[in-house]
Amino acid sequence: MWLIGLLIFIGILLIIVEIIFIPGTTFVGIIGVLSVIGGVFMTYSEFGSDTGHWVLLGTGVAGGLLSIYAFQSKPWLKMANTDAIKSKVNTRDNLGLSVGEQGEAVSDLKPVGKALFGDMEVEVTTKGLFLEAGQSIEIISIESNKIIVQPLS
């Protein structure tokens, strides 16, 4: 009798783990369903249909209650990354850069990278060119928060 209870309990736990932590139909969920079905089937085989019906009903109720508890306790929040990115992207207003301004590539531009204009380091983009770090560049356009540069000729 304890084997049947253990099978059903482990099966319900595996199904809940499948639903909450490992979404999709995976090995864990399949093993859980098979375990519950096996436990209920063994009850019908060993103790008859009356006991089997009660165990089936109890399994459904226990599974439902455990599922409700699992969703209300929100265990996935303990594993979730709740950090937020608080940095800002380049904006024309806060940089004070203008078209024609010259600077130097701090990193390789492939085609995006960092550049230095005066004492300000910003993210810049080329029009598909690959430029090496240290190369002199010039701003050819500023489109919202995107600074487009080209190498100085």
In a domain, 42, yes or no: yes
Q: Which residues pair with 151 in a beta bridge?
A: 137
Q: Are 59 and 44 in contact (CB under 8 A)?
A: no
pLDDT of residue 130: 93
In a domain, 86, yes or no: no
Predicted structure pTM score: 0.47
Give dist(CA 5, CA 39) in Å, integer.
7
| Domain count across the chain | 2
Predicted confidence (pLDDT) at residue 38 exceeds the cutoff of 70: yes
pLDDT tens-digit readout, 93-115: 557 788 899 999 999 999 999 99
Phi, psi torsion values for 151, nearest 5 degrees: -70, 150
15 and 74 housed in the same domain: yes
Strands 120-126 and 146-151: parallel
> Using H for helix, E for strand and C for coil, what is the string for 37-83?
HHHHHHHHHHHHHHHHHHHHHHHHHHHHHHHHHHHHHCHHHHCCCCC
Average pLDDT on 77-96 reads 68
Average pLDDT on 75-101 reads 72
pLDDT tens-digit readout, 5-33: 888 889 888 888 887 777 776 888 889 88
14 and 65 housed in the same domain: yes
Residues of the domain holding 44: 2-78
Whose CA is closest to 124, among 116, 112, 132? 112
Angle at 108 between CA 102 and CA 111, to 5 degrees: 85
- In percent, the amount of the chain with pLDDT more than 90 equals 32
